[in-house]
Copies of this chain bind each other. A is one copy, B any other.
């Protein structure tokens, strides 16, 4: 039995992982929808993944990743997010364009490549969408992120994620020059409309509305 996983097998493993982290009920249909395929194809693949000892699976009963499967998923997610980070920070892609490309790059199998890429990028801990990047051992860094409103005045935070990723929101953030990784400080909080005057490094201060601010999360030590 082949040790190396195919692109398809990897995509299934990753999708199961994601569905599991969102809800406990991971079933054949939801997985089929996630992967743009049919329930019958999912069943076929579940049998194979069970044979490869990556999932627990009893027919009609349900399925979930076992330890080996979880580790595998984390390693694929690591590759995916490192590539996303590369595409944004080095090649200058907008963060809403990188997912589809990383979906292909994540399947390039060289261990050495990912090790060197990680070093080259400076061992980043969060990807351009604010999601944590698992380390070599599959451990997810704990990112103690707080809502921008909870950041004390005049204290520097680093933008770690944005909960609304609609094109409209991304357009605004781009206009303000706010990105994942940006250093941000609150100069003043206005009670009247809960707007905030913020200061980003190398940029003049500006004011953002409550609607924008409440979707921004930062971390600080």
Contacts and interface: CB of A to CB of B under 8 A. Distances in A.
Interface stretch (A28-36, A105-113, A162-170): A105-113
A100 B117 CA distance: 16
Nearest to A91: B116
A93 B116 contact: yes
Contact of A116 (B92, B100, B112, B113): B92
Counting every copy of the chain, the complex holds 2
A97 interface: yes
A108 B90 CA distance: 18
Contacts of A60: none
Interface string A103-131: 01100111011001100100000000000
A113 B101 contact: yes
Interface string A81-92: 000000100111
A104 B109 contact: yes
Nearest to A97: B112
Given A91-B120, A120-B91, A108 B113 contact: no
Interface residues of A, number: 18
A105 B101 CA distance: 11
A90 B86 CA distance: 12
A117 to B, nearest CB: 6
Contact of A110 (B90, B101, B110, B116): B101
Contacts of A113: 87, 91, 101
Nearest to A104: B108
A97 B109 CA distance: 14
A87 B112 CA distance: 11
Given A93-B116, A100-B110, 14 more contacts: A87-B113, A87-B116, A91-B113, A91-B117, A91-B120, A92-B116, A92-B120, A97-B112, A101-B108, A101-B110, A101-B113, A104-B109, A104-B110, A108-B108
